[in-house]
């Protein structure tokens, strides 16, 4: 679907109407659809972390990952232990555990990161899924707007800490490249551009503007996903990004179309499309009798909506690429705003300032950490043989002054 470049604030679709019609077209048309993950694709022994795994899409993804042999960590603020027991029963796997975290509270996120670090957990597949659509604006524990805090700040902090603590490490081969998958939304395409002069400021809004602000928080998330992908994989430029459709025709013809650059950690994002889940739990009581049947009739079940997540998380070729965006089962581009590297840098630096107190809790940087965030002084973020050959300039860089 063609992107529109309209007024100064429109960064993708020029209206919510355009975004909704695109979503409906994509849902009911088969054109350009990718094949789902093969039934026999296994991930035995891989450590998979899913946020918001007690409900909807996250729960379904947790079940599917466990069925394929993953060790699943469900990172949730509620449903402990019942949702975990459900996932065990429905997947037939005991390799499932639940950890508690409230993503709207940075102290809770920090404590959660400490637990992963202290247990020396190394994640192979991270599904950053938790999300919400509140009826009105509300404040997080630290006073930020709730969706900004959960959709963006918590993910920004977790990824920084995981790289710093070695909870996510660059893969040693394309078979074991770790993957980080962000569940965003096409709503990011119809959001207004991020206002960096008011970055992180709390904005009051009511029921009329909720969807707009949801889109803005997902724009922060998509912009972050692209920036993280660039910083973790400096060798991969867009020109090396082989499209899945190209890779499939390459496989069929036996011809090589392109060589992707080395991927340290694959970072992808997606919109799962409309899901019959609990996302509209805050909708007014009078709307529920209308909304619930519409959702169950026209929206995808969480199991079906999980298909693009599973493809990005487990399909082999997705470990050789980074920065892929799927809208349901179609590969697309994020909005221009979200893909723009100077927006990504600004987002990175602005959030670095907001999170300063949480990013470096033990003062590692002041003890002589180089510009790379992520390893002890003796261990760079690129611990692998191939990576060591790269120059300092090419190294994965999560610092502000990249
Ligand atoms: N539903 C759709 O039509 C749709 C469309 C596009 C994108 N998405 C995205 O898909 C993702 C999954 O949503 P869903 O449809 O499956 O909705 P859901 O059933 O409401 O699940 C959302 C999950 O996020 C968790 N969560 C929310 N706030 C949290 C917090 N502060 N700390 C920890 N966990 C928190 C919820 O936990 P609790 O149960 O404890 O609240 C729940 O597990 C979201 O990112 C959403 O934005 C959904």
pLDDT by residue (tens digit) across 163-174? 999 999 999 887
Residue 255: the pLDDT is 44
User: CA 236 to CA 258: how far, in whole Å?
Assistant: 12
Q: Yes or no: is domain 16-364 CATH 3.40.50.720?
A: yes
Ligand 1 atom 3: residue of nearest CA: 274
Query: What percent of the chain has pLDDT above 90?
Result: 68
176 alpha carbon to ligand 1 midpoint, in Å? 28
User: CA 399 to CA 336: how far, in whole Å?
Assistant: 24
130 alpha carbon to ligand 1 midpoint, in Å? 4
CB 387 within 8 A of CB 264: yes
Residue 284: the pLDDT is 85
Cis preceding linkage at 202, omega within 30: no
Look up the pTM and report it: 0.86
E strands within 52-178? 71-76, 96-100, 125-128
Atom of ligand 1 nearest to the CA of 102: 32
Q: Three-state SS across 287-313?
A: CHHHHHHHHHHHCECHHHHCHHHHHHH
Helix (H) or strand (E) holding 50, with range, is strand 47-51
User: CA 227 to CA 339: how far, in whole Å?
Assistant: 8
Question: What are the φ/ψ torsions at residue 369 (nearest 5 degrees)?
Answer: -60, 140
Q: What's the rounded mean pLDDT across residues 110-139?
A: 97
Tokens of 363: 């003062």
Rg (CA), the chain: 20
pLDDT by residue (tens digit) across 144-203? 999 999 999 999 999 999 999 999 999 988 789 999 999 999 999 999 999 999 999 999
Ligand 1 atom 17: residue of nearest CA: 279
Residue 247: the pLDDT is 45
User: CA 127 to CA 53: how far, in whole Å?
Assistant: 9
Residue 377: the pLDDT is 30
298 alpha carbon to ligand 1 midpoint, in Å? 19
Q: Which residue of 144, 279, 280 sits with most ligand 1 atoms within 8 Å of its CB, as the best mutation to test the pocket?
A: 279
Strand partners, 127: 50, 181
pLDDT by residue (tens digit) across 340-371? 999 999 999 999 999 999 998 776 653 332 23
Pocket around ligand 1 at a 6 A CB cut-off: 52, 54-58, 76-78, 101-104, 129-132, 150, 183, 185, 271-272, 274-275, 277-279
């Amino acid at each position: 679907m063609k992107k529109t470049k309209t007024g100064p604030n429109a960064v993708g679709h020029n209206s919510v109407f355009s975004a909704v019609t695109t979503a409906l077209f994509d849902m009911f048309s088969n054109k350009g659809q990718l094949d789902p993950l093969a039934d026999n694709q296994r991930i035995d022994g891989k450590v998979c972390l899913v946020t918001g795994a007690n409900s909807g899409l996250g729960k379904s993804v947790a079940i599917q990952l466990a069925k394929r042999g993953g060790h699943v960590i469900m990172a949730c603020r509620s449903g402990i232990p019942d949702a975990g027991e459900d996932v065990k029963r429905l997947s037939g796997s005991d390799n499932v555990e639940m950890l508690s975290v409230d993503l709207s509270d940075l102290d809770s996120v920090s404590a959660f990161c400490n637990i992963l670090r202290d247990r020396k957990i190394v994640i192979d597949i991270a599904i950053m899924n938790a999300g919400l659509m509140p009826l009105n604006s509300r404040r997080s524990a630290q006073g930020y707007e709730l969706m900004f805090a959960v959709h963006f700040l918590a993910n920004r902090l977790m990824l920084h800490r995981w790289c710093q603590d070695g909870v996510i490490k660059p893969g040693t081969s394309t078979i074991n490249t770790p993957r980080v998958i962000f569940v965003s939304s096409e709503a990011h395409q119809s959001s207004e551009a991020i206002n960096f002069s008011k970055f992180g400021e709390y904005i009051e809004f009511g029921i009329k503007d909720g969807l707009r602000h949801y889109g803005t928080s997902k724009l922060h998330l998509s912009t972050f996903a692209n920036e993280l992908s660039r910083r973790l994989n400096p060798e991969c430029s867009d020109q090396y990004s082989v499209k899945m459709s190209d890779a499939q025709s390459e496989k069929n013809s036996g011809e090589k179309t392109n060589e992707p650059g080395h991927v340290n950690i694959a970072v992808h994002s997606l919109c799962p499309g409309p899901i019959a889940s609990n996302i509209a739990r805050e909708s007014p009581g009078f709307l529920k009798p209308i909304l619930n049947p519409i959702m169950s009739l026209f929206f995808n079940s969480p199991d079906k909506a999980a298909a693009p997540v599973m493809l990005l998380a487990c399909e082999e070729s997705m470990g050789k690429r980074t920065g892929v965006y799927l809208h349901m089962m179609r590969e697309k581009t994020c909005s221009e705003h979200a893909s723009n590297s100077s927006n990504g840098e600004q987002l990175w630096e602005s959030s670095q300032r907001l999170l300063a107190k949480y990013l470096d809790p033990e003062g590692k940087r002041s003890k002589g950490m180089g510009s790379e965030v992520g390893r002890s002084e003796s261990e760079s973020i690129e611990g692998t043989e191939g990576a060591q050959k790269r120059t300092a300039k090419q190294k994965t860089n999560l610092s502000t002054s990249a």
